[in-house]
Structure 1
Amino acid sequence: MPAPYIQPQPEVLDRRDGPFGEVALRRRGERYEIIANGCFLMDTSDGRSERLLVSAALDALSRPGRGTAHPHLLIGGLGVGFSLAEAAADPRPGRITVLERERAVIDWHTVGPAPLAPFAGTGHRDPRVRLVQDDLLNHLRTTADRYHALCLDIDNGPDWTVTDANGGLYGFAGLTVLERVLAPGGVLAVWSAAPAPEFEERLRARFPQVERLDVAVHVERGEPDVVYLASRLG
């Protein structure tokens, strides 16, 4: 009988207090984890759904009739870097703006040993990429830019936000803010760690085209990761 698998104990590599609370980087064996205010956010064990967040949005923009050449992507949340890696590996984007509000997360990608940099692929060397430290909601409310795709992964989903202020992003008022910065024919893509039926209803009330893409995860977690796509063109 094989010996039971014993999960390695996490080692805290860095922990910082900031304007949004505590954020920590942990290593568990060969896996890195980001923890915010004691809440598990993400790790480097998979990345399929984070990559799908970007690839599905780009595929939607490439459908006949959209006419979107060299689109400008906004990635909300740098995280461990999987979404940035996917965007940088794709020749279609003309510009890639990455927003990350936590200075610590940016440093873990760009300063010193930069343990998370390998998970961003070529993103940090790509001339199309602009990495901006800013809160997503603040940027959305103040920017003059318009984006062909908004790829948002700043929480564990609409029903499980990292900070209370993020909750407003997923209501009708938040969707109004998101629509303001979408270029005509643009695509909104939202990542969630589980299905969010009420959020999906709000999307369908606002956008004529809504898709839900499920990504199966480890059996012990049960519910799939979900990517929601919403747009005004088929």
Structure 2
Amino acid sequence: MGQTGVVVDRVRTGRGELVLRRSGEHFEIVSNGVFLMDTRAGTSERLLVREALTLVRPAARVLIGGLGVGFSLAEAVASRVPAEIVVLEIEEALIAWHRGHLAGVSGDALRDPRVRVVNQDILSWLRSTDEVFDAICLDVDNGPDWTVFQGNAALYDPDGTALLRDRLADGGVLAVWSASAAPAYAARLAAMIGPVSTHLVPVPRGEPDVVYLARRAVAGSEGSLG
């Protein structure tokens, strides 16, 4: 991506330095000097939510793990399916940017009355709540096999997967974004949650983005993604 963008904001967090940068009409987010994401695409992040919402009931409760640049949240608020959208985001600065610089990217979604933002680590919050959701859409770090922050790996391991499963309603869907194929993780989803479908989204360079969807069986049935 280069380092040609103009710094819009720079903050110190518990995880180091977080920078919001502008490059032309686009924004970029950089963590400790490592490029994380930008506003140039968003196809796979939108698909993450869109595909999950096709599988849930009307007036669904939806959890989005990771606010990012807001593509997933924008897709959720554009739909009439969710009655409630809970967004977990650990970085307070990122939430503040979505009330200002990034509001246009997420469609000013934080003003939607269905949206509740929780400024907390998603693993800690999941362990402390008994809330259940019809869809959990997870876009944390770069996915199961390529995490920038070591602690995020626990979200994708067997214990983390069990925790996510337990926060799904019967028939609920877990949708997971990954920057690359993660076959071992897909097998874990199938074994621990239910049938898995895989969606590949080509990108200009490198491996396709991947979205995995796993559906928790309704009690007394086999469950299906069909």
TM-score normalised according to structure 1 size: 0.89
Task: For residues 62-104 of structure 1, give each alpha carbon's deviation from its aligned partner in whole angstroms, at most 9, with x where no partner exists.
Answer: xxxxxx2311000111111111110101001110011111011
SS in 1 for 2:131: coil
Establish whether residue 225 from structure 1 lines up as the match of residue 214 from structure 2: no
Alignment of 1:153-172 (within 5 A): 153-172=139-158
**Which consecutive residues of structure 1, in runs of 5 or more, have no partner in the other structure?**
1-5, 62-67
The percent identity for this pair of structures is 53
Q: Return the offset for 1:122.
A: 4.3
TM superposition outliers: structure 1 runs of 4+ over 4 Å? none
- Looking at structure 1, the residues matched to 34 and 69 of structure 2 have their Cα atoms a distance apart, in angstroms, of 15
Mapped pair 1:97 → 2:86: yes
SS in 1 for 2:82: coil
- Other structure's SS at 1:60 match: coil
User: RMSD in angstroms over aligned alpha carbons?
Assistant: 1.5
Structure 1 residues 122 and 30: alpha-carbon distance in aligned structure 2, compared to 1, 3 A threshold: closer
The equivalent of 2:75 in structure 1 is 86
The answer (yes or no) to whether the contact 1:8–1:29 under 8 Å persists in 2 is no
2:145 and 2:66 map into 1 onto residues whose CA distance is 17
Q: Deviations over 1:27-50 (max 9, x none)?
A: 112111111222222110011111
Amino acid at match of 2:202: A
SS in 2 for 1:119: coil
Structure 2 unaligned blocks of 5 or more: 217-222
Q: Contact (CA 8 Å) 2:165, 2:193: kept in 1 or not?
A: no
**1:153-201 alpha-carbon deviations (Å, 9 max, x no partner):** 1111111113111101111111111111111111001111111122112
Aligned pairs, number: 218
Q: Equivalences for 1:54-69 in 2 at 5 Å?
A: 54-61=49-56, 68-69=57-58
- SS for the counterpart of 2:203 is coil
Does the CA-based 8 Å contact 1:85-1:120 persist in structure 2? yes
Contact 1:24/1:36 (<8 A) preserved: yes
CA contact (8 A) 1:36 1:162 kept: no
Alpha-carbon shift at residue 132 of structure 1 (Å)? 1.4
Amino acid at match of 1:157: G
Alignment of 1:22-101 (within 5 A): 22-61=17-56, 68-101=57-90
Question: 1:75-154 to 2 correspondence within 5 Å?
Answer: 75-110=64-99, 114-154=100-140
Render the CA deviation track for 1:122-155: whole Å, top value 9, x for unaligned. 4122111111111110111011211111101111
Q: Is the 8 A contact 1:89 1:122 kept in 2?
A: no
TM-score (norm 2): 0.92
Could you say which residue in structure 1 is the equivalent of 2:159?
173
User: Which is richer in helix?
Assistant: 1
Does the Cα contact within 8 Å between 1:146 and 1:182 map onto a contact in 2? yes
| Larger CA Rg, structure 1 vs 2 | 1
